[in-house]
Amino acid sequence: MIEFKNVSKSYRKGIKAVDDLSLTINDGEIFGFLGPNGAGKSTTIRMLTGILNIDEGQILLDGKDIEKEPIEAKKTFGYVADDPDQFLALKGIEYLNFMADVYNVENRKEKIQQLSEKFEIADALSSRIESYSHGMRQKIVICGCLMHDPKNWILDEPMTGLDPRSSFDLKEMMRKHADEGKCVFFSTHVLDVAEKLCDRVGIINKGKLLFTGTLQEMRDTFEENASLEELFLEITEND
C-alpha cells in the first residue's frame, strides 16, 4: 500500500510542483497516474522513491515512512525510472547480479533466467548494457526492478520502447501482481493502456490532484460516456 498524506514540494518560492497531494493506492490494484507534461507526475514519483525530499507531508509505503525509515521503505518497492539508460558500463548479468546483491535475492539464478527469458534478453546478458537498444535497456531495468519480487511496483512510463510482445507481457505481469494482492503504481502518457489496465486512475495537473477514481466514476462525475482520453483532456483543459 502506498499513501500520500498532504504532500507538497516546491522548486521555487511560491511555485509548488506538487500541492497538498493526498492519495492512497491500495493493495490489489493497478493505479494509473496521469497528467500532462510538467504536471508533477515525475516529482511525485521521485518523492515516493526517496530521490526528492518532501517539503511538507508524509509518504508511507506499507506503513513505513520514506523519510524516517528510508531503508525499510525502499525494500518494499521496485522502481523503473522513465530513463532506461542506466549502468551502461555494466553487462546485463552484472547489473542483475548487482541488483540481486542489493536486495539480497535468493534463487537469483532462477529469477534471472526466468525474467530474462520472459523478456527475451537472455542471450544479451553477457554484453554491456551500452550495446543494447532502447527497448532492451528498458527490459533489463524492468528485470532488475522485479527480481526481488517487491510488493509495490513503481513504474514511470514503463512501456516506452518495449516491443508489442514485451509490452503485453509486462501488462499481464502487472495484472497478475495486483491480483495477488500487491500494488502497482505507474505513470503513462498512453491513455489506451491506462484505460484497459488500471483499476483506478489519478489525474494531476499543475501540482494538484484533479481526480481520483475508476473510469466509471469519472464518467459519472462528468456525466459523459466518453473515453478516458476525452475525459482526461476535458479535465486538464478546464483546470
Partner 1 sequence: MIRNIINLTKVFLISSFSRGGNRKKKNNIGKIALYAVLFIYLAGVFGYLSYEVLSGLIAVKQEEAFIGLILMAIITLVLFTTIISTMNVLYFSDDNLFVLPLPFKPLEVLCAKLNTLLIYVYMEEMMLGIAPLAMYGWMTKQNILYYLFMVIVLLLVPVVPLLLVTMIVICIMALTRGIRNKSLVQLITMSLSVIFSLMISMVSSSMNTNEDVMAMMNKAGSLVGIYKKAFVTMPMAIDALTKYDILSLILLIVISLAAYALVSIFAQKLYYRGMLGSLYSSSGISDKKLNEKSYQSKGLMFSYVMKEIRVYFRRPTFFVQLILPCLLLPAFTIGITYFSIVSQMGEELSAGLDFIYADSDFSGYVFAVLILLVMFISMYSFISTIAVSKDGHDAYAMKYLPVAFHRQLICKMIPDIAVCLLSYAVVAVMAMILFRVPLIHVLLSIPVAVLYSILHGFLILSDVRRPKLDWTSEIQIVKKNMRMMFTMAYSLLNMGLVAVLAFILNMDLYVMCAILSVLYLALDVLLYRYIERKDIALADGFE
Judged by beta carbon, residue 98 or residue 168, the one nearer partner 1 is: 98
Q: Which of 5, 108, 175, 206 binds partner 1 (CB under 8 A)?
A: 108
41 vs 133: CA distance, rounded Å? 26
104 binds partner 1 (CB under 8 A): yes
Region 170-229 residues binding partner 1, contact defined as CB under 8 A: none
Judged by beta carbon, residue 74 or residue 200, the one nearer partner 1 is: 74
Q: Which of 6, 15, 38, 51 binds partner 1 (CB under 8 A)?
A: 51
Strands 208-213 and 152-156, how do they pair?
A: unpaired
- Binding segment for partner 1 (CB under 8 A), chosen from 13-21, 107-115, 178-186, 208-216, is 107-115
List Cβ neighbours of 21 (8 Å cut-off, separation of 6 or more): 4, 6, 7, 8, 40, 44, 57, 204, 207, 208, 209
List Cβ neighbours of 220 (8 Å cut-off, separation of 6 or more): none
Alpha carbons within 13 A on the beta-carbon side of 33: 27
125 binds partner 1 (CB under 8 A): yes
Closest CA to 90 of 29, 50, 132, 52: 132
Region 62-101 residues binding partner 1, contact defined as CB under 8 A: 70-72, 74-75, 79, 81, 83, 85-87, 89-91, 93-94, 97-98, 100-101
Judged by beta carbon, residue 95 or residue 232, the one nearer partner 1 is: 95
93 vs 154: CA distance, rounded Å? 23
Judged by beta carbon, residue 87 or residue 186, the one nearer partner 1 is: 87
> Where are any strands of DSSP class E within the chain?
2-12, 15-25, 30-34, 56-61, 64-65, 77-80, 152-156, 183-187, 200-205, 208-213
Q: Which of 126, 214, 221, 225 binds partner 1 (CB under 8 A)?
A: 126
Query: Which residues are bridge partners to 204 per DSSP?
Result: 209
149 binds partner 1 (CB under 8 A): no
For binding to partner 1 (CB under 8 A), which residues are involved?
46, 49-53, 70-72, 74-75, 79, 81, 83, 85-87, 89-91, 93-94, 97-98, 100-104, 108-109, 112, 123, 125-131
